[in-house]
Structures are given as structure tokens and as C-alpha cells.
Structure 1
Amino acid sequence: MTTQFGDLLKHWREARNVSQLDLGLEANVSARHISFLETGRARPSRAMVLNLGSVLEVPRGARNTLLHAAGFAPGYRARDLDEAEMAPIAAALDWMLTRHLPYPAMVLDRRWTILRANTTARMLLAQLGLAENANLIEALLDTHLLPAVIENWEEMARHFVHRLRAQSAHMGGDDWLDGMAAQLAARLGDTAPDPAAGTQAIIATRYRLGETTLSFFSTLSQFSTAEDIALADWQIEHLFPADETTRAMLEGLGGG
């Protein structure tokens, strides 16, 4: 990707399918000024770069790239959870993971790597041959891991192809996400979708563990006002039992 601010701005505007006029209206500047910024006839202020990045919903890391291209210092950074100012965030994550017991919950980064997991999630992951720091997309492709235990693997793989492509598009393009989506699509080949697809209220993932099948649906949540680069991309996945057998088994584990 180019490092020139005007070209970067045009890239993000087109990625969001926004005209110069519409962007100008949202950013409270003229379409003419947007055109001048894209062609290099005008230079943006730091405030303008941040304003345009916000209007276009550019990810924080990419906003740093816009700032650098315009000649300014980065405005966002990635912090470690053990830094003092991140203590309330770490506590909130621990609270959400613990309160979800006995059901599984985990924290994932934007590339679906497991960063944290509660007790039940770690138990489930161990049964699946995984652990914290494992990557769920890579595991979904590894024939010895998730494809071997997910009864409806094709249904889930097809779902993730669309999710990864949408996630990449939102980020203005991500080679890793696009590559994983392409690998999943290639594995699916010409497999026809389940005729029942679209008729269900929600897609549950069915894990076959020996004589038992556990069925889960999940919710994903994020920090809505995160300005930290990494934190803005993290998501907390809460798994819920999709049938009575799964619910009874998990609640039999107690509070973890």
C-alpha cells in the first residue's frame, strides 16, 4: 500500500464506498478540500487526519499510518495488560470470564488467537487438543484438530469464510485474514450449503467428544470506546449451551 497521505485517504474512502461529497459533509469540510487532500494540493492538519480517520472508521493502527504519511507522530499505541493504566481493563476481562462460568468464555485478538480463557474454556480447549495462545482459524484448517471433532465443520467453515472477508474489508484489507478465508473456501470446494441454512435462528457449533456431543452458540463483544490499538481489536466470546444436554453437563461442573 502507498505511504502517501492522499492515496491512503482515497483508499479508505473507496473502501468505505463514500464519495468525496459525502465524506466532506460528514467531516464538515468541502468536497473540493477532500479532492485537494487526495491529490496532494492541500496538506491536512493533525486534527483533520484524526477527524477523517474517525469518520471513515479507520482502525487505530491504520490511523497511525495516516498520521505518519501526513508528517505527524502516531496518535495511538498498543499497551500491555500489566501496565498500570490497563488495570481496570484487565479486571473487567477477568470479571466477564469468571462471571460466565460454568460456561466457556475467552478473549480473542483480531486474528482469532486466544489471549485469555476461563476455567471451562480451558477444559474444553484441552479436550479439543488446543490451549491458550492457539489460533482458532488455524485450528479450523488443521485436519487433526477442529475438523476432526466439529460435526458441522462445513457449515462453520462457510460461516467463517464470510466473517473473515468482512473483517478484512472493515480493516481496509488484511493479507492474513484474506489468506485464511481463501484456504477455508478452497477446502470447502464445491460443497453445497446445507438446505436448512438460513432457516435456523442461530448457528450452533457441535463438538463431538467421545460419546458426547456438546453444542454451543456464542456472542462476541468489544470495548466500545477503546483507543488502544490492540484493545480496539479484541473481542470477548461467550459460549452458551445450545441444547439441554450441553447445559446439564456444564452446570454439573459447578462454578469452575
Structure 2
Amino acid sequence: MQNAFGDTLKEWRGRRRMSQLDLGLAANVSARHISFLETGRSRPSRSMVRLLSESLELPHGARNAFLGAAGFAPAYRKRDLDDADMAHVRAAVDWTLERHDPFPAMALDRHWTVVKANRSGGLLLGGAGVSEGDSLLEALTDAKRMQAVLENWREVAEHMIVRLRTESAHLGGDDVLDATVDRLELALGPRTGGNNHPLPAIIPARYRAGDKVLSFFSTIAQFGSAEDIALSELRIELLFPSDDETRTALFDISRSQAEAK
């Protein structure tokens, strides 16, 4: 007899590297009950499905699939950012991006598509031939193009591989992210082991801009308590100058553009 929920539960437990006892302790149920759910001897209630989803830290889309496997209706919608009931969220994104100028900032979706960028972010992305609606992942795997834009492309690509693997693991595997990792590893070729020197606090991305090199590190902001699938996957990446030369250059550019208006 097919046991879609049990199979899904077992699969996600394996992805999270949790034993039945681990999951039982996290969800405050017995390991025996977890075993019964996986074999189909017990059927879960809707509240139990949601409890296990929380304990397994499932992304919202996977929680809908988990509920469906147990025979329940989905709990989460996927709204477009332009929807009327997303107006406050849209305003928050706009406010954050605008206030971050003259430093670059952009809103990205799950697959690193540029949803929106501020003025400075648009200029920075434009130097790499990227605009709103384009995928940063596609740009990053174009080694020839990115080596012309990023002075330390190899270093950035190596860190991106780690970051994308982590994001994919959280999602339970993602074909787009995994394929990007494969392309980056192919583009990088054989790599030697790291050196024994202490790593710096932050490894910046260094962009070529004419005769200047602009150096940035980034922070990532996400919406807390997001109950919408798209909103839970939306993040705002805020870039900050990692040296005084970059900071001065950005303010000079901003001042020149203001005077030209």
C-alpha cells in the first residue's frame, strides 16, 4: 500500500540527518510514533504534519507538499509582489533599497533573479550586463564575462559554491542551485588546498569600474514570520564598501548625479 506521507517524512528526515529519536525529541513525540507514521501504521493529523514540518525546518513550499501527501489542503499561498495585499511589503522593500543608496542593494528571489535594485545597485549590475528580471546565477557562471568584471572572481565563485550548497540543502535540494554549483566547479577547474594563514574577517567582492576597483561585502535581510511562499524566499542583499576608497567613490558618484539633475 502506498504511503506517500511516510515516504516523504522518511526522505526529509534523511536530508536533515535526523534519526527517528532525534525527530521525536524535536517534536516532543515518541520515536515509536515517528516509526508508525513512516510505515503507515498511524495517520497524522494536520497539526502533527505542521509540527513535524517545524521540527524538520521545511521551507514553505515543501510544507504544502507535506500536507498534500497526508491528504490535507495546502497552508501557504504564493503571491506576486505586485498583489494588492503585498503593498506594505512592497513599500518596505522600496524603503530599504532607497535608503541604502549610495550603496548598492537589491532584492533577490530563491533563484537569484533580480526582483528590484536601487540606483547604485542598478549601476553595479549594469556593469556586468545584468538588469532587473535577470538571473545573477547565469551571470556568475559566465566565467569570461565575470572575470572582466570581478577582480577576484575565483575567490567569489568558491564562496558562492558553499553558499549555494547550503541554500540547496535547506530547500531539500534545488535543481537550479545544484546545476549552478556544477557549472561553477567546472569553470574553476582543479583547485588546490587552502593555505594555513588566518582568514580575514570578511572576503569582499572587488568590482572593476573603469580605472577604479570597488570593494564590497554584503549582508542579507529576510522577512521574519513570512507565511507566503514567495515572501519567505525573498531576500534583500545590502552591499557595503569594504574600504575608504570605495565609500568615497560611491558618494562622489551620487553627488555628481545629483548636481547633474
The bucket for the TM-score relative to the shorter chain is: over 0.9
Q: Which residue of 2 aligns with 1:228?
A: 228
**2:16 paired with 1:46:** no
**2:183 paired with 1:207:** no
Deviations 1:173-220 (A, max 9, x none): 111111110111111111336648752110100111221111111101
Q: Which residue of 2 aligns with 1:88?
A: 88
Q: Which residue of 1 aligns with 2:124?
A: 124
Give the paired residue count.
255
Deviations 1:50-77 (A, max 9, x none): 1110111000000111111111111111
**1:215–1:246: 8 Å Cα contact kept in structure 2?**
yes
**1:155–1:194: 8 Å Cα contact kept in structure 2?**
no
- The residue identity in structure 1 corresponding to 2:139 is A
Please list, as runs of the form range in 1=range in 2, the aligned pairs for 1:48-67 lying within 5 A after superposition: 48-67=48-67
Q: Which residue of 2 aligns with 1:106?
A: 106
Cα distance in 2 between the residues matched to 1:239 and 1:156: 14
The offset of 1:143, in angstroms, is: 3.5
Deviations 1:13-70 (A, max 9, x none): 1111112112112212211111011111111111111111011100000011111111
TM-score under structure 1 normalisation?
0.94
- Secondary structure in structure 2 of the residue aligned to 1:253: helix
- Secondary structure in structure 1 of the residue aligned to 2:134: coil
Cα distance in 2 between the residues matched to 1:100 and 1:195: 36
- The residue identity in structure 2 corresponding to 1:12 is W
Q: Percent identity?
A: 55
| Structure 1 residues 196 and 119: alpha-carbon distance in aligned structure 2, compared to 1, 3 A threshold | farther
- Secondary structure in structure 1 of the residue aligned to 2:54: helix
**2:3–2:40: 8 Å Cα contact kept in structure 1?**
no
Please list, as runs of the form range in 1=range in 2, the aligned pairs for 1:142-181 lying within 5 A after superposition: 142-181=142-181
The offset of 1:135, in angstroms, is: 1.0
**1:168–1:177: 8 Å Cα contact kept in structure 2?**
yes
**1:114–1:134: 8 Å Cα contact kept in structure 2?**
yes
Cα distance in 2 between the residues matched to 1:29 and 1:201: 42
Cα distance in 1 between the residues matched to 2:127 and 2:85: 36
Cα distance in 1 between the residues matched to 2:228 and 2:127: 34
Cα distance in 2 between the residues matched to 1:114 and 1:3: 39
**1:59–1:171: 8 Å Cα contact kept in structure 2?**
yes
Cα distance in 2 between the residues matched to 1:21 and 1:194: 38
Q: Which residue of 1 aligns with 2:216?
A: 216
For structure 1, list consecutive stretches of 5 or more residues without a partner in the other structure. none
Deviations 1:130-182 (A, max 9, x none): 11112111101114532321110110111111111111111111111111101
**1:217–1:239: 8 Å Cα contact kept in structure 2?**
yes
